[in-house]
Amino acid sequence: MFIPSYLVNEHFDDRYFDVVSALDEAQQIYFRNNNLIDRIAAGIEAKTPLIIGETGFGAGRVVISLMEFLQESGLKNISIEYNTVELYPMDPDRMFHLLSEFKDRAGDEIDTLVNAYRLIDTTRSGWHSMKIQRSFGTLDINLWIGEALEMVNALENSCDVWFLDGHSPKKNPSIWRPELLMEIGKKTKVYGTCSTFTVAGAVKRALIDAGFTLKKLPGCGGKNEVLHGTTC
């Protein structure tokens, strides 16, 4: 398959996402498979934020897709803490260029995220905050510039849900290494969940060792089945 060079992360020789179905893919794999709407609605009722962790912020395509998903849910007073990590933060202009593939569908969401991203100093490692207020509520993004394991170790609160989106295990084994997935398991609440696009055997084994019970659920685009894990 031909992959345009602007979509490729030169550090891993792998694309950030698939332009054809990237927003729908995120909605299926990360949001619907994790039953996000019901869990967010329960959080609104209980007045507690849903805490999400993501490995691989990249161009923020999953965040854009999440904003669209929340907008379409019709829910109000949503509160989400979104913890994400990026070892090689990209220039905001490049981010805008990559995301502009989706501008007809999510133009406002792209402008909101890229404008917030322009305000942070990505040359400084560690936590950066991007607070996004929309009609659905608040999306509090904590972006950790640095290595994923450092971010997981630094997390104060365990996550309800993990989106594991760090390039293919063949191209980037570092973000799937057992030591990291073990720490992710420890920073997941009881009855917490995780999702990823890969069904690679080594990833499955490491997630099971980290305490997740796995099953395959429907994927999207080029992937018929994807992985879903739960800690209960």
Ligand X SMILES: C[S@@+](CC[C@H](N)C(=O)[O-])C[C@H]1O[C@@H](n2cnc3c(N)ncnc32)[C@H](O)[C@@H]1O
Does the footprint of ligand X cover residue 183 (CB under 6 A)? no
Number of residues that bind ligand X (CB under 6 A): 23
At residue 184, φ and ψ (nearest 5 deg) are -65, -40
Does the footprint of ligand X cover residue 192 (CB under 6 A)? no
Does the footprint of ligand X cover residue 18 (CB under 6 A)? no
CA dist 98 and 108 (Å) reads 15
* Maximum Cα interatomic distance, the chain, rounded to a whole number of Å: 47
**Minimum distance of ligand X from residue 162's CB (angstroms):** 12
| CB atoms inside a 10 Å sphere around CB 222 | 11
**Minimum distance of ligand X from residue 158's CB (angstroms):** 19
**Segment contacting ligand X (CB under 6 A): 36-44, 70-78, 83-91, 124-132?**
83-91
Half-sphere exposure of 216 (CA within 13 A, CB side): 12
CA dist 88 and 147 (Å) reads 9
User: Cβ closer to ligand X: 15 or 228?
Assistant: 15
**Segment contacting ligand X (CB under 6 A): 45-53, 127-135, 162-170, 210-218?**
162-170
Does the footprint of ligand X cover residue 88 (CB under 6 A)? yes
CA dist 9 and 166 (Å) reads 11
Q: Report the DSSP beta bridge partners of residue 8.
A: 15
Does the footprint of ligand X cover residue 87 (CB under 6 A)? yes
DSSP state of 224: S
Give residues in contact with ligand X (CB under 6 A). 9, 11, 16-17, 56-62, 85-88, 147-148, 165-167, 172, 174-175
